[in-house]
């Protein structure tokens, strides 16, 4: 696809444009979270306990939580935590899934059988249930959370990549490469990898929103980011008690979560529209 054609498709896709703008905004907010946050997100201030939103940036614009911490500051730093986790998870999962998918697809036979059988077992356990059980067994920390999320999502990539590899494995240019004496590793990573990159990017773009959502659900259950770190899931869980009296404590992180996931899903759909216009799914 020429650069011109790519640009034309990007401009045509409303999803891509809206999603990209929102995602860039969210990333900027989280990168500069420390500079923008008016308070220390962990600092408790009893006088601001459950303080109603004031509408002034540096005076509890979104109110204070049950410990008198500034909700805005927690929201900003929390976005950093969520984004760092989901970026790490998506990239790690993509790398692991791709390597396994290429190896399975290229070597075939027993290597393929082992990897694919393992993926069969993996997908037969509902991911959220598995994540909950493993987090409970390991104890909650950010490292464990990342490991668990990678562990429950790699199959997605491995299957897509394996499918693409099997399609191009027997094409003439791969054969030509073998005849010219290229080693297996070289063929896998210099010839095959660039050819599966498109499908890979599409899957990755779809995974961000899902990862943010899963992370927040686990944190909500107390099995994700350990408190007092300000994760959106933790904030929602902590505010639940005050749902009937001070709903803003829950509403602010809940709406932020919704907007963030929506933005990443828009971008994900946009990326698919741009890279794979045949697929209207």
Partner 1 sequence: MLKFIAKRLWHTVFVLIGVTMLTFLLLKLTSGSPARLLLSDTATEAQVYAKEVEMGLHDPLYVQYFHYIRDVLRGDLGTSYFFKVPNSRLISQSLPATGYLTMVAMGIALIVSIPLGIIAGMKRGSVTDLVAMFFAMLGQSISSVVLGLLFMLIFAVNLKWLPSMGYGGLAFVIMPATSLAMQMAALITRMLRSGMVDVLQEDYIAATYAKGISRREIVTKYALRNAILPVITIIGLQVGTFLGGAIVTEQIFAWPGIGSLTVQAIGNRDFSLVQSILLIISALFVGINLLVDIIYTLVDPRMSFN
Residues forming contacts to partner 1 in the complex (CB under 8 A) are: 117-118, 120-121, 124-134, 136-139, 209, 213, 216-217, 220-221, 223, 233, 236, 240, 243-244, 247, 250-251, 254-255, 257-258, 261-262, 265-266, 269, 280-281
Q: How far is the CB of 176 from partner 1 (least distance, A)?
A: 32
Q: Which is nearer to partner 1, 2 or 244 (CB)?
A: 244
Q: Which is nearer to partner 1, 176 or 255 (CB)?
A: 255
Q: How far is the CB of 188 from partner 1 (least distance, A)?
A: 27
Cα-only R_g, the chain: 22
Q: Which is nearer to partner 1, 221 or 229 (CB)?
A: 221
Query: Distances in Å between the alpha carbon of 117 and those of 97, 101, 158, 163, 200?
Result: 14, 13, 12, 15, 21
Q: How far is the CB of 223 from partner 1 (least distance, A)?
A: 7
Q: How far is the CB of 276 from partner 1 (least distance, A)?
A: 13
Q: How far is the CB of 38 from partner 1 (least distance, A)?
A: 25
Q: Which is nearer to partner 1, 55 or 139 (CB)?
A: 139
List residues bridging with 64 in a β-sheet.
Answer: 70
Q: How far is the CB of 210 from partner 1 (least distance, A)?
A: 9
Q: Which is nearer to partner 1, 191 or 216 (CB)?
A: 216
Q: Which is nearer to partner 1, 143 or 190 (CB)?
A: 143
Q: How far is the CB of 4 from partner 1 (least distance, A)?
A: 27
Angle at alpha carbon of residue 258, lines to 255 and 263, rounded to 5°? 125
Q: How far is the CB of 202 from partner 1 (least distance, A)?
A: 15
8 A C-beta contact, residue 234 and residue 254: no
Tokens of 281: 């799914």
Q: Which is nearer to partner 1, 36 or 151 (CB)?
A: 151
Nearest-angstrom CA–CA distance, 1 and 5: 6
Q: Which is nearer to partner 1, 146 or 213 (CB)?
A: 213
Nearest-angstrom CA–CA distance, 196 and 159: 12
């Amino acid at each position: 696809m020429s650069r011109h054609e790519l640009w034309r498709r990007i401009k045509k896709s409303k999803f891509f444009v809206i999603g990209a703008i929102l995602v860039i905004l969210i990333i900027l907010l989280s990168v500069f979270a420390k500079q923008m946050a008016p308070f220390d997100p962990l600092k408790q201030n009893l006088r601001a306990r459950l303080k109603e939103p004031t509408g002034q940036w540096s005076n509890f614009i979104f109110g204070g939580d049950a410990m008198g911490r500034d909700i805005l500051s927690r929201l900003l730093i929390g976005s950093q935590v969520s984004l760092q986790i989901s970026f790490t998870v998506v990239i790690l999962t993509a790398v692991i899934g791709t390597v396994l998918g290429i190896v399975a697809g290229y070597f075939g036979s027993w290597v393929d059988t082992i990897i694919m059988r393992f993926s069969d077992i993996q997908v037969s356990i509902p991911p959220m249930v598995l994540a909950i059980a493993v987090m409970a067994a390991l104890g909650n920390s950010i490292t464990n959370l990342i490991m668990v999320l990678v562990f429950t999502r790699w199959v997605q990539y491995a299957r897509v990549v394996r499918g693409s590899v099997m399609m191009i494995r027997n094409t003439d240019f791969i054969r030509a490469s073998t005849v010219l004496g290229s080693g297996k590793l070289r063929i896998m990573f210099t010839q095959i990898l660039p050819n599966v990159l498109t499908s890979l990017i599409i899957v990755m773009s779809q995974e961000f929103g899902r990862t943010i959502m899963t992370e927040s659900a686990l944190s909500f259950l107390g099995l994700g980011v350990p408190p007092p770190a300000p994760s959106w899931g933790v904030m929602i869980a902590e505010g639940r008690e005050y749902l009937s009296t001070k709903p803003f404590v829950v509403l602010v992180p809940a709406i932020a979560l919704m907007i963030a996931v929506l933005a990443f899903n828009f971008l994900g759909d946009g990326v698919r529209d741009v890279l794979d216009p045949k697929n209207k799914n």
